[in-house]
Amino acid sequence: MKVLTKNTDYAVRALLELAFAQGKFLSAKEIADKQKIPYEFLRKILRRLIKEKIVTSREGGSGGFQLRLKPSQVRLADLIQIFQGEVQISECLFRDKICSNRKNCVLRQNILQVEKKVVEEFNAITIESLMEQMKGRG
């Protein structure tokens, strides 16, 4: 089970770079170089973040990408949803078929509670909170 995929990880790193730029436009190349993210991979991620209205872009010599939202408004849970879908610990599948015991399964009820807590924790993590942690490290 992967908690975060490469797409989500790269999106967080790119958003942190944009947030620290404090409203300045950064090129995808600058972000890719600083964060050591493959350039073409980053371009796809940035396009998705533009579509989701988290990032904005501007063409031209002084163009690039800019964080559209406040860092406090960008939650890790939202990024996971965008790049991975719902947080799901168990799919309740057996040999590619939905489990027939799904409604009465006590394990599933417990797993759903764990998923709920995980989502709550991911909702508490924002780009701003990550920035604060990074500043605290020196």
Summarize the confidence of residues 106-128 as an average pLDDT: 90
Return d(Cα 2, Cα 16) in angstroms, integer: 22
pLDDT score, position 66: 97
All domains in the chain, ordered by first residue: 6-136 (1.10.10.10)
This prediction has a pTM of 0.86
| Terminal C-alpha separation, the chain | 33
Output the six-digit token pair for 96.
């590619």
Model confidence at 104: pLDDT above 90: no
pLDDT score, position 128: 97
Return d(Cα 98, Cα 94) in angstroms, integer: 6
pLDDT score, position 47: 97
Return d(Cα 71, Cα 135) in angstroms, integer: 14
Return d(Cα 36, Cα 24) in angstroms, integer: 20
Among 1-10, 41-50, 71-80, 103-112, which stretch is predicted with the lowest mean pLDDT? 103-112
Reported in sequence order, the residue ranges of the chain that DSSP labels E, i.e. its strands, are 55-58, 64-67, 93-94, 97-98
Output the six-digit token pair for 29.
């190349």
CA angle 53, 47, 31 (to 5 degrees): 100
Q: Please write the tens of the pLDDT for every residue from 14-72.
A: 999 999 999 999 999 999 999 999 999 999 999 999 999 999 999 988 899 999 999 99
